[in-house]
Amino acid sequence: MEFPPRIYMIGAQKAGTTTLADLLNQQPTIMLSSPKEPHFYSRHWGRGIGWYQKCFDPCDTCILVDASTSYSQAPTDLFPKAMDTKPNPYLCDVPERIHSLRPDAKFIYVLRNPADRAYSAYWHRVRRGEEHRPFRVAMREVTAYYRGSDYIGQLRNYTKIFDIENFHFIIFEKMKRDIGATVQSCCDFLEVDFDPTTTGLGVGVPAAEQHKNKSFQYNGFANAVAGLFPSRDSFEDFVGTAKRIVPKALRPYIGRVITADIPPMADDDYATIMEMYSTRIEQLSGMIDVDLGVWWSPSKATAVPAT
């Protein structure tokens, strides 16, 4: 087993990385860590390499992949504040730590419309009980939502050490239209054969036909039940266990009992965020040599976050 892993899916958070990681993990020559996001180079660096190795099952022929999205949430030149409520130094120095163990590392980076991604991140925290402010207020006070969408800022943290050729960029909006081609492009980047039979994927198949979007917000009833648990994490664990136990045919009915739709982003909030990122998007497009015009389509923000 080639350890530490050479391949890292660094984000972006709420840009479909869970779905993509799951599909890559079904390829016979690719193995994701367990958990999918060990956060070794960020939160758990102090635990040591032995702890990290236990996150991967033994496999002599597999390419190992660490898909921790915290690796692309560091301070940037545009958003230099390390954290909003308390210091989190673990977000810094991730590229340097990776380079110290794998100077030949390669990276997969999924990029999503920055406003959509920030909105998704906000609702993710709402669902977990970590955010209670209205979106507009939270965006004024929490730079963490912005940092995760500052893709060129995150890239600059890496390209101080790694060449841009070490990165494979995926545009979330294009991935949704053809998940099979996306997985195939990752396999090409990793120089392994693409096997569509392991996932039922074919080039041209939309992501929506393969994986249901898992995003939602808990309604008042579910939040009341969550209050009976010692922590929000324990409630989330309970929900996850229930999903695995309940027959698939019943899951949609249960979902309607405990969840509610996420409202769309207000037009003026969307416009404000996109205006702030406009120059960064132009710079990013030139840096990675990818047309990002899809982010300027009139479809506005999707109401549902991605996994």
Residue 123 tokens, joined: 């609702």
Contact assessment for residue 173 and residue 44, using Cβ atoms and an 8 Å cutoff: no
**Residue that the structure tokens 């039922």 belong to:** 200
For residue 256, is pLDDT > 90? no
Q: What pLDDT, in 10s, does the model give residues 30-51?
A: 999 999 999 999 999 999 999 9
Q: What percent of the chain has pLDDT over 70?
A: 73
Enter the pTM of the model: 0.82
Query: Tens digits of per-residue pLDDT, 131-148?
Result: 889 999 998 887 888 999
- Residue 248 predicted with pLDDT over 80: no
Give CATH for domain 7-213+266-296. 3.40.50.300
For β-strands 106-111 and 167-171, DSSP reports them as parallel
Return the pLDDT at 104: 98
| Residue the block writes with tokens 């022929």 | 61
Q: Is the pLDDT of residue 247 over 90?
A: no
Q: What is the mean pLDDT of residues 216-241?
A: 57
Instruction: Output the pLDDT for position 40.
Output: 98
The ranges of the chain annotated as CATH 3.40.50.300 are: 7-213+266-296
